[in-house]
Amino acid sequence: GIQNRLGFLTVCATNTAMLSMTRTLKVFPPEKSVVDRERARHSYHVLPYLLGKIVAELPAVLAPPLIFGSILYPMAGLEGSIGRFTRFLSVLAVEGMASGAIGLAIGSFSPTAEIALSVGPSIMLVFILFGGFYVSDNSVPWVLRWIPRVSVIRWSYKTLAVNQFQGIEFITDGPTDTATGAQVLKRLGSADESYASGLVELVRITSFFYVVS
Q: Which residue has the higher pLDDT, 28 or 196?
A: 196
Average pLDDT value over all residues in the chain? 86
In which element (H, E) is residue 210 found?
helix 195-212
Q: Is the pLDDT of residue 91 over 90?
A: yes
Q: What is the pTM of this model?
A: 0.87
Query: What is the Cα Rg of the chain in Å?
Result: 19
Find residue 169's DSSP bridge partners: 180
pLDDT at residue 29 in the model: 66
Residue 103, phi then psi, degrees to nearest 5: -60, -40
pLDDT at residue 134 in the model: 82
Q: Which residue has the higher pLDDT, 33 or 17?
A: 17
pLDDT band with cut points at 50, 70 and 90 for residue 168: confident
- How many domains in the chain? 1
Q: What is the mean pLDDT of residues 123-147?
A: 85
Q: What is the mean pLDDT of residues 42-59?
A: 80
Q: Is 132 left (phi over 0), alpha (psi -120 to 50) or beta?
A: left
Check: CB of residue 179 under 8 Å from CB of residue 20.
Answer: no
Cβ contacts of 206 within 8 Å, gap of 6 or more: 94, 97, 98, 101
CA atoms of 156 and 91, how far apart (whole Å)? 6
Give percent of the chain above pLDDT 90. Answer: 42
Residue-range definition of the domain harbouring residue 94: 2-212
Residue 192, phi then psi, degrees to nearest 5: -100, 5
Q: What is the mean pLDDT of residues 162-167?
A: 91
pLDDT at residue 137 in the model: 75
